[in-house]
Amino acid sequence: MSSGRTVTEVLMAASRAAASKNKKRKTPDDDDGGGGATTTTTKTPNSNHLVMMNQPSNSNDSKPKEKETTPPSSLTINDKISSLRKKPIEFKPNSAAFWKDGEPVPFLFLARALDLIASERGRIAMTDIQCNVFRTIMATTPEDLIAAVYLSVPAIAPSHEGVELGIGEAALIKVLAEAYGGNEEHIKNQNKGLGDLGLVAKASRSSQRLLFKPSPLTIVRVLDTFRIIAKETGKDSQEKKRNHIKGLLVAAIDCEPLYLIRLLQSKMRIGSSKQTVLEALGQASVYSEKHSNTPPLEEAAKIIKQVYSVLPIYDKIVSTLLHDGIWKLPEKCTFTLGMPVRPMLAKPAIGVTEILDKFQDTEFTCEYKYDGVRAQVHYMDDGSVEIYSRNAERYTGKFPDVVNSVSRCKKPFVRSFVLDCEVVAYDHENQKILSFQMLSTRSRKGVILSDIKVQVCIFAFDILYINGQPLFQEQLKIRREHLYNSFEELPGTFQFAKGITSNDLGELHKFLETAVNNSCEGLIIKTLIRDATYEPSKRSLNWLKLKKDYMDSTGDSLDLVPIAAFHGCGKRTGVYGAFLLACYDEQNEEYQSICKMGTFNHRNSCCLEGTTENMLEELSARLRDQVIAKPKPYYQYGGAKNPDVWFEPSEVWEVKPAGLSISPVYRAAGGAVDPIKGISLRFPRFLRVREDKAPDEATTSEQVAEMYRSQKINHANNQENEEDD
């Protein structure tokens, strides 16, 4: 487009226009002349309640003004915000609004709502509050709903657009000092004490007084400013970014500085997640309709999550919800070439016998499980290519060689396609697969072909779209025929995943050994005809993974989040001596402790295998930047020995244990297999950092319980580890 606007901006503008058209309402005069009034907040005497007050506007202000909110002065903001705690079935959407219909939604409304969510621990209560927030906006200013969703996630654009704010902690400390007249060193010390730069901002703002009141912040202004910040490049860009942030901080009141800083850091620290936001959005849409019976909330949540897995664009989803309702989403929001789809995933299997039992009387195939990066490659009609990771991150700039390879290997009749494949480090000279660690040395973006030192090979195993035809509903056997007919293999550059179709026990054992000898992790087993459609984002029993360690107790590694650490001593002084790791509970949206993993050999606490001193220092340095003052309310760590430091949930580590045991100390899957106790890992070994996973994509407590049950079935002599530390 000649305007240079992104798809996100165009969709957002269209949503605002359509929402305004669909809901006729009286709007305040847009005239910027004198005689208007700005709304500010103040505290009543002897009270912590904020009340609304009107002040004359500054007619000499040269900056364009937004439509201003003029709420009734008789009600406190606290009274209105508190109503968000009500059960959605009892909530009246207009009861929480302290602005008039059609006026921009104040950022204070969202910030105070986030404070409410932060005070809750239960997933249902969090979802209810978020649902009521969205319902309030839908009832008053629906065109602002997109901005509210983005800030709640938090994000400023769809993940595949790769838009980043580019603001580090040092820059935020500097801008806080400039905005609130403080000293940078003092702010650094406060940050060390509080462990949250957002809390520092809130405290700094409360101690500062302004000569005049700036216009109140709105959620649209905040999001728009963030997007402007992300676009600043070139000379003096950092100074320009700080000035934009300063403008927001100076105008911020109450808890707004807290959430402005957290949003800028992409660390909300409230325990909510993207799944909560999606579920709440679906419920809000249901409650906006009239129902004679119980609202179908579970079905709505299922629909919106499924739609997001196929089209992860909030703008399109919100726009459709406002215009057509939740039930039209699957029809209106379908797969779009160039937009990433959440990949289908496999469940772990313990052994070949288990596979034969599960797939009895079913035709299935076994493929090598390559140890690389899962990639989704989109080839457009105009010849352009986009590559996405498993969590929809744009990888096109990371793999320019992949862009070249798929273009060379497609057959002439192929105009467009979407491939599901694994990109693997490859030694072209010796024609062999290299380790994942070799591939992880490559930069995340901006890679130049001539600078590439580690070559790659694409191993394609599925095709989701060909020449304008989506293939999600086709059986795997049909999809593979399309794949094989549409591409030519080029050894060492583009190959089909190696596989066999057999139900012979001995042959499968031999194929597994061959896969391991060829530097693969193991096998992926898939049904070919029955229940063999492609299900985005689903971890399906129709896909099973069998890793080379299948004869061990667990049969699979776990992806865990480091939530705390213990200081090292002696040789390990200066780095952490052990880490407290956690799995993720999707139902309660909390992290549950599962083991302590040491950085040196110790009973039940093995070293970070494969790490050098430098790597250990790098891990420790990264996590030192994530230290917080106290554990999150959504950390479940039970009676585990108190760690020396706690971390923000920031990264995922792949860990391989010798087995799982019932534990009176750790809280993973508590109550799932034992009425009181949780599950822990025996002798966990660090394998690698999973850069392609977000913390809330870690191994779930449900998966941990499944792994324990499978282990118990396959190892009847499993006993509780009574000496678990």
Which residues does the annotation mark as catalytic? Answer: 369
What are the φ/ψ torsions at residue 696 (nearest 5 degrees)? -80, 5
Distance CA 92, CA 111 (A): 20
Distance CA 572, CA 236 (A): 42
How many of the other CB atoms lie within 10 Å of CB of 630? Answer: 10
Distance CA 639, CA 214 (A): 49
CA 430, 433, 435, 438 torsion-angle sign: positive
Q: Tell me whether residue 181 is exposed, middle or buried, using C-beta atoms within 10 angstroms of its C-beta: 0 to 12, 13 to 18, 19 or more.
A: exposed
**Amino acid code (one letter) for 703:** Q
The DSSP bridge pattern shows strands 373-379 and 385-388 to be antiparallel
425 and 436 in contact (C-beta within 8 Å)?
yes
- Picking from 98, 95, 92, 93, the residue whose alpha carbon sits closest to that of residue 77 is 98
Find residue 499's DSSP bridge partners: 367
Distance CA 26, CA 28 (A): 7
Distance CA 101, CA 19 (A): 13
Q: Is 379 helix (H, G, I), strand (E, B) or coil?
A: strand
Q: Is 625 helix (H, G, I), strand (E, B) or coil?
A: coil
Angle of helix 169-180 versus helix 184-194 axis, rounded to 10 = 120
How many of the other CB atoms lie within 10 Å of CB of 612? Answer: 9
List Cα–Cα distances, 631 to 169, 637, 638, in angstroms: 21, 9, 12
The DSSP bridge pattern shows strands 678-682 and 627-628 to be unpaired
Residue 638 — left, alpha, or beta (φ > 0 → left; ψ -120 to 50 → alpha)? left
Q: What separation, in Å, do the N-terminal and C-terminal C-alpha atoms of the chain show?
A: 61
Give the torsion through C-alpha atoms of 457, 460, 463, 465, to 10 deg.
10
How many of the other CB atoms lie within 10 Å of CB of 506? Answer: 9
Find residue 680's DSSP bridge partners: 661
Q: Where are the alpha helices (DSSP H) in 219-313?
A: 219-231, 237-251, 256-265, 274-287, 297-310
281 and 189 in contact (C-beta within 8 Å)?
no
Which pair of tokens denotes residue 316?
Answer: 């399109």
Q: Which residues contact 228 (CB under 8 A, 6 or more apart)?
A: 244
Q: Quote the DSSP letter at residue 596.
A: E
